[in-house]
Amino acid sequence: MRALFWIPLALLAWTQVGYGVFLGALRRLGARSWTPPEPGADRPMVTLVVAAYNEAGVISEKVANALALDWPRDRLEIVVAVDGGAEPGADATAALARSAGADVVLELPRGGKYRAQDAAVRVARGELLAFSDANALWEPDALVRLMAAFADPEVGYACGQVRFVNDAGTNQEGLYWRYDMWLREHESALASVTAGNGAIYAVRPALYMTADEVLGHDLSFPFNVVKRGSRAVYVPAARAVEKMVPTVEGEWARKRRMMAHAWPIILRGGLLDPRGYSPLYTLMIGSHRLLRYATPLLHALVALATLVLLRRGRAYAAAAAAQAALVGGAVAGGRIRSRPLLVARYYVLTTAALAFGLYDWLRLGTEVGWETPEGTR
C-alpha cells in the first residue's frame, strides 16, 4: 500500500514538475539543440487550408487575414473546406469565403474536420501545406516564420504559438498554458514536440497522413512525423490569436471533447509504439503525454492509498490535507474569483476531463463532426 502511494505520487511530481526541470537542465548542460532559422528570401508555393463548419460569422475575417499575410499572393493558395457545405440548410460559410477572396472553396458532405482537410489536401497545389482554424487570426509575419523552419531538410512538421484573448482583446494565457508552451519549446529544441495545435501548423505534403477520421492532427502528426525520420518542431515566433473559452467550465467541456479524440490515438493510433523514437523522444512521450493523460488514475491511486494509510504517519495525514485542500479550492473557485482557487479549479476540472474523455470514447465512440466551443467566435 505504501508503494501504491509513493510511486503514483512520484509519477505525478515528475510529469507536472520534474520533467520540466529535467528539460531545462538538459539544455543548460549544453545538449545539442535546434533553433528556428531566420526567414530567408525563398518563398515556396504554400497552400493554406481552413476547415470550417458553420463559420459564417468569422470566415470573411479569416480569409482577409490570410490575404494580408507577408507572403507573395501568387505563391499562396487559400483553400476553405466547408464541412457540411453540401448539406441542405448549410449556412453561408462557402459563399462568404468565395466573396472574401479564397482561391478554392469546397462544399463537402458532413464528414468531420479531418475529412474536410483531406479533401483540401487532394486539390492543393502547394509545395508546403499550412493549416489553421476559422477563428484563428495569424500575425502578418506568421507564415514567413512558420515556413522558415522548412529550410532545414530534417523538419517535416512545424507548429506555431497560439495566444488566447478575451472579448476585450487582452491576453488571457493561463499559467498552465504558458508552462505547456515552455515544455514544447524545450522538446522542440532537444528532439521533437510531442503535440501541436490546430490553429497554426504546417507539414510537408509527403508526410501528410490520411488516417481515421477521429484521429486529430494535433496529437497524431508530430509523433508520426518522427517515426518517418523527420523532425516535428515548434516556432514560437509564428503567432496566432484565438478567443479563449470564457469559463473554466467551458474549458472542461472542450478538453473532454478533445480527449475523446486523443484516447484512440493513444491506445490504438500508434503513440504507444516506440519504434522510430529516439530514447530521449521516448522519454518525452512517456512524460508529457502518457503520464499526463494518466493523471486521473494516478490521483485516484494516491487518494485510495492515503485513506488506508491515514493513521500510519504524518506524511499521509499531510497528503490527505493537501488533497482535501485541492478539491476544496476547486469547489470554492466556482464561487470566489481568487487566482489560487481558479488555478485549483482549472487543474481539477481539466484532470477530470481526461478521464471523462476516455469514458465517452469507450461508451459512445468519437463523433467525427465538431461543434464550435461556446464563446470562441
pLDDT in tens, 322-337: 999 999 999 998 888 8
Q: Where are the alpha helices (DSSP H) in 88-230?
A: 93-100, 113-123, 142-148, 175-190, 217-227
- Name the pLDDT band for 214 (thresholds 50, 70, 90): low
In the prediction, which pLDDT does 210 show? 87
Distance CA(159)–CA(185), nearest Å, equals: 11
Distance CA(6)–CA(3), nearest Å, equals: 5
Asked whether the beta carbons of 95 and 84 are under 8 A apart, the reply is no
Phi/psi at 272 (5° precision):
-75, -15
Topology of domain 46-244 in CATH is Spore Coat Polysaccharide Biosynthesis Protein SpsA; Chain A (3.90.550)
In the prediction, which pLDDT does 136 show? 96
- Min mean pLDDT across 65-69, 124-128, 347-351 is at 347-351
Identity at 269, one-letter amino acid code: G
Q: Tell whether the model's pLDDT for residue 89 goes beyond 70.
A: yes
Q: For the chain, give every residue range classified as CATH 3.90.550.10.
A: 46-244
Distance CA(307)–CA(320), nearest Å, equals: 8
Strands 128-133 and 46-52: parallel
Q: What angle do CA 286, 289, 292 make, to 5 degrees?
A: 100
Q: Tell whether the model's pLDDT for residue 129 goes beyond 70.
A: yes
In the prediction, which pLDDT does 168 show? 55
- Name the pLDDT band for 253 (thresholds 50, 70, 90): confident
Q: In the sheet where 128-133 sits, what is the strand order?
A: 104-108, 76-83, 46-52, 128-133, 201-203, 155-165, 231-243, 137-138
Distance CA(275)–CA(200), nearest Å, equals: 28
CB atoms within 10 A of CB 74: 8
Q: Which residues fall within 8 angstroms of residue 255, CB to CB, at 6 or more apart?
A: 350, 353, 354, 357
C-alpha cell at 141: 509575419
Beta-bridge partner residues of 48: 78, 130
* pTM as predicted: 0.91
Higher pLDDT, 244 or 38: 38
- Name the pLDDT band for 252 (thresholds 50, 70, 90): confident
- Name the pLDDT band for 109 (thresholds 50, 70, 90): very high
C-alpha cell at 298: 494516478
Q: Tell whether the model's pLDDT for residue 352 goes beyond 90.
A: yes
Cα–Cα distance list, 80 to 71, 123, 144, 209 (Å): 18, 11, 20, 19
Q: Which residues fall within 8 angstroms of residue 170, CB to CB, at 6 or more apart?
A: none
Q: Tell whether the model's pLDDT for residue 172 goes beyond 70.
A: no
Identity at 370, one-letter amino acid code: W
